[in-house]
Amino acid sequence: MRKKSSLRVSELCGELVGGTILLSCPAVVSLPDTIESSVRKIAISDIHGCARSFRALLRRIDLQKDDRLFLLGDYTDRGPDSRGVLDLVFELIDEGYQVQCLAGNHDIGLLRAGKDPEFCEFWKESWGGANTLKSFGVEEVGEIPERYVEFLYELPWVLEVEDYILVHAGLDFYADDPLRPDTCMLEIRKWYSAIDYEWLGQRYIVHGHTPTPREVIEENLLGFDEWRVLDIDAGCVYVQYEGLGNLCAFDLDNRALWFQPNVDMSAPWR
């Protein structure tokens, strides 16, 4: 039996604001504009506990230690091996790969489940949290080892990389500053019509959160220079729906897409 963490999840969760945990971690991280042009910058989002599919996608893109890998959140829930996904992230970092991770709503939901018993039941049943607990071999969120909880707690919500804004769900363009810490970064949908292109300038936004069929992602890439936004959530865990059931990687500079069919699940997650 795995040793239980001595640190309670509720001690790491920050404060609940509007039903969502507001963390004390930095909400915006800006990387220096010194990344060599020959280095690939690759984004992946919404792995959702599909560790084998994640590993297969990394093989498909032939990830190298010189590459920069950006993971846009939702490592946990629904799929069968959330712990395995996080272990693979740790493995990459420990082996010297350049990995930058963002938070997704499901990752913050796990933290909230450790603080809010009523939400915890909803998380287990409706968000696929029961599969997350099963992957750790535990029955309660508070039994998840400390390393995993601290990792999720410390994740930033948005990242600026040269001409790109990377975020899990999107930005609130009705706010005075769309890059100000806001839960919309984790959960907003249907926000494209509000994009302020004067504010955005020559930057691009890459995000996940809203499952999108492969052919739509490919079509949207053709208009990327015009619309300057791209959703790369290919609905990995939704194997029951035509066009979904893929994990997507996007090369930011070379405008290349890779799709890895889900190899973790042969049936819907519930």
Asked whether the whole model's pTM tops 0.75, one would answer yes
Nearest-angstrom CA–CA distance, 72 and 132: 18
With a cut of 90, say whether residue 243 has pLDDT above it: yes
**pLDDT number for residue 269:** 81
Nearest-angstrom CA–CA distance, 36 and 54: 26
Mean per-residue pLDDT, 4-10: 32
- The residue whose two tokens read 């010194």 is 34
Lookup: tokens for 172 = 């609130």
Count CB-CB contacts under 10 A for residue 237. Answer: 28
In this structure, are strands 164-167 and 158-161 parallel, antiparallel, or unpaired?
antiparallel
Query: Tell me: the pLDDT tens digits for 121-133?
Result: 999 999 999 999 9
- Chain-centroid distance of CA 93 in Å reads 16
143 three-state secondary structure: helix
Query: Tell me: the pLDDT tens digits for 42-88?
Result: 999 999 999 999 999 999 999 999 999 999 999 999 999 999 999 99
Write down all domains in the chain, each with its CATH number in brackets. 39-158+208-259 (3.60.21.10)
> What DSSP line would sit under 102-140, residue for residue?
---HHHHHHHHHTT-HHHHHHHHHHSSHHHHHHHHT-SS
